[in-house]
Amino acid sequence: METNPIQYEELELLLNDLYKRYGYDFTEYSKASLHRRVQRLYTLDNFPSFAEFRYRLQSDSHYFRRFVEEITVNVTEMLRDPSFYRTLRTTILPILATYPFIRIWHAGCSTGEEVYSMAILLKEAGLLHKALLYGTDINPLVIEKARKGIFPVSQMQKYSENYIQSGGVKDFSTYYTANYHLAKFDSGLTGKMIFSTHNLVSDFSFNEFQLILCRNVLIYFERELQAKVFKLFDYSLENFGYLALGSKESLRFSSIADRYRQVGREKIWRKVHEAG
Amino acid sequence: MKQDNKLIVNAGSAGSLQVVLAVLTAMGKDYPIPVLVVLHRNNTFESSLEELFASRTRLVIKEVEEKDAIQPGVVYISPADYHVLIEQDRTFSLDYSERVNYSRPSIDVTFRSAAEVYGSGLIALLLSGGNADGAEGMQWVRDGGGLTIVQDPQTAEVPYMPQQVLLRMTVDIVAPTEELPELIHSLAYK
Ligand SMILES: C[S@@+](CC[C@H](N)C(=O)[O-])C[C@H]1O[C@@H](n2cnc3c(N)ncnc32)[C@H](O)[C@@H]1O
C-alpha cells in the first residue's frame, strides 16, 4: 500500500498544467481510472512529493512522454469477444464486400491486435486486396509496436481459440511465423495497414470510412468528451457505414443515437441518416 | 428511508456464490442500501449469473454499465473481464487495465475506489476464495472509515481469502457463514 495518495484536486492541477504545457487534454477523462493510473506512476517512479512530480512533468518533455505511455491503458487481445467478430464475418463484411474499396478505422488500436484480427477476417472473406485499415492511438509507443506486428507466442493458443470461436476454419498458425517467444504476423496483412498517432480529444477527422471501430476507449472518457468523439466518428463515417464499440459501451445516450440502428445484439451501429 | 450515502460491496471468489445468494435473499425487497457484487467469474459462460441472482432476490439485478448512477434498490454485478471503479459523483466506471492479483475484476481495485468515495458509508464484505485479492482493499476500506466484515475462514468453503485479510489486520466483524445473511440485513437499519 502506498502511503502518499494524490488528492483529486492535485490531479486537476496536474491535468491543467499538462494541457497548457503540451496541449494534451486529459481533463475530461473519467477520473477514477485516471487517478489510479497517475497514482501508480507516481508510486512506481518514487517521487518524494506531489510537487516534485508536478515539476518534473512541467520541465521534462521526455518524462511527459513516459506519462502518456503509462497512464493510457493499452491492454488488448486478438479477436477479443469472438461473437463480435463472428457478427463482423456473417453480417457486416458481406455488405462491405459490395463497395469497390473498403476503408476501416481502428481508433485507439493500442498495439494493433484488433487491426490484425480484422485483416485476417478480410483476407478470409477475399476482401483484403481492396481494403485499407487505419490504426490510430494517442500513445506513440504502442503505434510503433503495432507497425511491427510482432506479438508474444505465449498468447497464440488463446488467440487461436478466439479465432475458432469467431468462425475461423483455418489453422491460425498459418498467419504468423514463430521465432522463440515471438510471433511475427504475415507481411501480407501488415501491407494493408497504416498506423499513426491520433488524439481523439483534439485531432480532426482525416478520411471517410465504411467502418469505424473504437473499442474500450470511450469507457475512459466522461460523457461530454464521449459526445465530442461520437460527433467526430459521425463526421468520419459514410452514410450506411458502421460504428463498433466495446462490449460495455453504448451509443444509446449520445446525441447521434437517433440516426443509428443497432445491428443485432452486438455493439455495432449502422448510420442510417446523415446529419441534418 | 433511503440511504444513498452508503454502499455495500459483497466480494468473493471460489466458494462464495451460495453465500452471496443467501445474503441477497435475506435483504428482502426494500433493502435501502445499494449493493455491488464483485465476483471472480469464469468469463462469458456465466452470463446467466444475473438470472440466477434474479431468481433469489426481489431487488433489481443489473450488470454494471459504465456511468450507471448508483441507486438503492439495485444489486449491481461486476461484468466479466473489467475492473469496476466508482467516481466521485457516485457513478460507475469500467476499466480494462491489467489484471490485479491475477484477477479482473479485482476486488482490491473496487474496494479501494469505493473507500475513496464512500468513506465511512462503505460496508465491505469479503467471502470465500482461493487467492489474496481483497486483502489490501480491506485495509483501504478500514483507513477510509468503512465497516470491514469477513466470512469466518473456518466456515468458508475456501478459507484462504478471508484468512489473508485476518493475517494483515483486525476487521470489525468476523461472521460465520450462517449468520451473514441476518447480519447484512440488520446493518441496513442501523
Ligand atoms: C484498452 S485499449 C483498447 C484497445 C483495443 N481497441 C481493444 O478493445 O482491445 C485503449 C486504448 O485507447 C487509447 N487512447 C486513450 N486515449 C486516447 C485518445 N485521446 N486518443 C486516441 N487513443 C486514445 C489508449 O492509448 C489505449 O491504447
Residue A191: inside a domain, yes or no?
yes
Q: Are residues A135 and A226 in the same domain?
A: yes
Q: Is the Cβ–Cβ distance between A102 and A132 less than 8 Å?
A: yes
The pLDDT tens digits of the residues spanning A135-159 come to 999 999 999 999 999 999 999 999 9
Reading the block at residue B109, the C-alpha cell is: 481495485
Residues from B in contact with A at Cβ < 8 Å: 65-67, 79, 82, 85-88, 93-98, 109, 113, 136, 139-140
Are A257 and A234 part of one and the same domain? Answer: yes
Same domain? For A167 and A102 the reply is yes
Give the span between the Cα atoms of A14 and A27, in whole angstroms: 9
Beta partners for residue B148, in sequence order = B124
Task: Give, in degrees to the nearest 5, the angle at Cα B91 between B86 and B97.
Answer: 45
DSSP string, A87-119: HIIIIIHHHHTTSSSEEEEEET-TTSHHHHHHH
pLDDT of chain B, 190 residues: tens digit per residue? 456 699 999 999 999 999 999 999 999 999 999 999 999 976 555 568 888 899 999 999 999 999 999 999 999 999 999 999 999 999 999 999 999 999 999 999 999 999 999 999 999 999 999 999 999 999 999 999 999 999 999 999 999 999 999 999 999 999 999 999 999 999 988 7
pLDDT tens digits for B14-48? 999 999 999 999 999 999 999 999 999 765 555 68
The residue among B115, B61, B112 whose CA lies nearest residue B83 is: B112
Expressed in percent and rounded to 5, the helix, strand and coil fractions of chain A are 45, 20, 35
Tell how far the Cα of B175 is from the centroid of ligand 1, in angstroms.
43
**Which CATH number fits the domain that encloses residue A233?**
3.40.50.150
Residues A40 and A87 in one domain: no
Domains of chain A: total: 2
DSSP A138-178: S-HHHHHHHHHTEEEGGGHHHHHHHHHHTT--S-GGGGEEE
Q: Which three cell numbers stand for residue A64?
A: 511527459
- A249 in the same domain as A115: yes
Distance CA B77, CA A168 (A): 32
Residue B50, pLDDT score: 87
In words, the CATH class of domain B3-187 is: alpha beta
pLDDT tens, position by position, A200-230: 999 999 999 999 999 999 999 999 999 999 9
CB contact under 8 A, B95 and A33: yes
Q: Is residue B185 flagged as an active site residue?
A: no
Q: Is residue A152 part of a domain?
A: yes
At A13, the pLDDT band (50, 70, 90 cuts) reads very high
Which domain does A144 fall in, by range?
A: 82-271
Burial of A204 (0-12, 13-18, 19+ CB in 10 A): exposed
The domain spans of chain B are 3-187
pLDDT, tens digit (0-9, with 9 covering 90-100), for A57-111:
999 999 999 999 999 999 999 999 999 999 999 999 999 999 999 999 999 999 9
CB A110 within 8 A of CB A76: yes
Residues A245 and A153 occupy one common structural domain: yes
Ligand 1 lined by B96 (C-beta under 6 Å): yes
Q: What average pLDDT does the structure give for chain A?
A: 96
Residue of chain A nearest B82, judged by CA positions = A248
User: Is A164 in the same domain as A248?
Assistant: yes
DSSP B51-63: HHHHTT-SSEEEE
